[in-house]
Amino acid sequence: MRRTTLWLLVVALGPALFGCGDDGGPSGGDAGSGEDVMYDEAFAGTCTAALSCTAQQVATACTCVDTPLTDSVFETNRVGCGELPTEMGRARIPEDDFCDPAANSGPPDLTCMMPGRLRTRGAVTMVTLYGVVDVFGNGGNADAITVEVYEEAADGNLGTLLGSATAAITSACSEREDEIDNDMVIGTRELGFYSIANIPTETPLIIKTSGNPDFWKDLYTYNFQITNDEVVDTDPAMEGCDTDVVQDCTMCRSGGIPSGARHKYRARVLSRSDYNSIPLTAGVPAGITRGNGAVAGEVHDCGNVRLEFAQVGVSPLPETLVYFNDNPSNPLPQMGRTEGTSLLGLYAALDLPPGPVDVAAVGRVGGSLVSLGWYRVRVFADSVSAVSLRGLRWQQTGE
């Protein structure tokens, strides 16, 4: 179970773009501490707003990021599955919890950030995207949720709609999950199943989920790509099935799981109640201004493992940027947390006006300041844009 000041606008007339190099800040902006950030040399974009970094910050990829602490205790590390608290005695699953099953607190995998080892694009093929719609935090059954897949256009805009489906809890492939609080089951909910054919691999995509506006808020998920090594093309009858969560494994294998090339993806939906309550917990008593939105996500390494003690920067500036606690069952904002992300790698930037937003992260590894990646998303009115950094993608480097 996961939950996951007014804008300081420098530019008065729209999202004017300013040139922005690495480490030195944008033209006309304060470069902050000037400390060198390794692996951000590949950044060659333009900024959504001019920066004015403080001496306690470092400028990187069009953002001002709080300089990570120098104490070795707070060095950025990948999160081991054994570090995460169990739920009802159940072990953590690497694919679901984005954790390292082999080690705890190991150094991050930064290979995809290094010159000469940047990711390159593979051949584009068409596959079926399928799975269940999970609830981010609190909420009822994820039923009648619309899942839409868009190509990502410039500056985070929605490109071509590639396909859509409505997730249904009546499917044999829907799942049932326990809602857990303080290691006690307090309820259950159903997660609807969806399937969308003809989705391209090796292509930047945006996943939008939406439902009844009385209960759900629109959620736009960025930095999503199906890489060719994530495609499965085996007999559905051979696919694993957990009888504790799937309604009918035999029916799901025979009539729910699509045949042929496919990729399983657990989409997310956001409840209206969490959209309203999380800002209150994060110290924004008035909530998100009507017409504004938020950006939230996690920081992972190139191996898609969560990172602890990563610092995140967002530009333009939000009303507040907050990190979360270590509890996967009930992740809540931690006011005053200065050391960066927790074991969950979670952050949220709240109360942002609609438009393009730059997100970047840095960490300290082996005493050196390193980039953990960057991405540009777009905030839409009264919604949340989710972006988890996973190192660099091929389209960010020109490879």
What are the sequence ranges of the domains in the chain? 112-271
Omega before 353 within 30 of 0, i.e. cis: no
Q: Which two tokens stand for residue 136?
A: 């981010």
Q: 355 and 293 in contact (C-beta within 8 Å)? A: no
Alpha-carbon gap, residue 140 to 135, rounded angstroms: 8
Query: C-alpha angle 285/291/297, rounded to 5°?
Result: 70
Distance CA 83, CA 332 (A): 18
The dihedrals phi and psi of 386, each to the nearest 5 degrees, come to: -100, 130
- State the Cα–Cα distance between residues 298 and 382, nearest whole angstrom: 21
Q: Which residue has the tokens 């082999």?
A: 102
Q: What is the mean pLDDT of the chain?
A: 89
pLDDT band at 398 (very low <50, low <70, confident <90, very high): low
Please report the pLDDT score of residue 233 as a whole number. Answer: 95
Give the total residue count for the chain.
Answer: 399
Q: Could you please state the CATH topology (level 3) that the domain comprising 112-271 is classified under.
A: Immunoglobulin-like (2.60.40)
* Average pLDDT score over residue span 352-373: 97
Say what the pTM is: 0.91
User: d(Cα 316, Cα 327) in Å, to the nearest integer?
Assistant: 29
pLDDT at 184 over 90: no
* 342, 323 Cβ separation under 8 angstroms: yes
The string of pLDDT tens digits covering residues 99-135 is 999 988 899 999 999 999 999 999 999 999 999 999 9
| Cα 192 to Cα 203: distance, rounded to the nearest angstrom | 26
pLDDT-derived band of residue 248, with 50, 70 and 90 as boundaries? Answer: confident
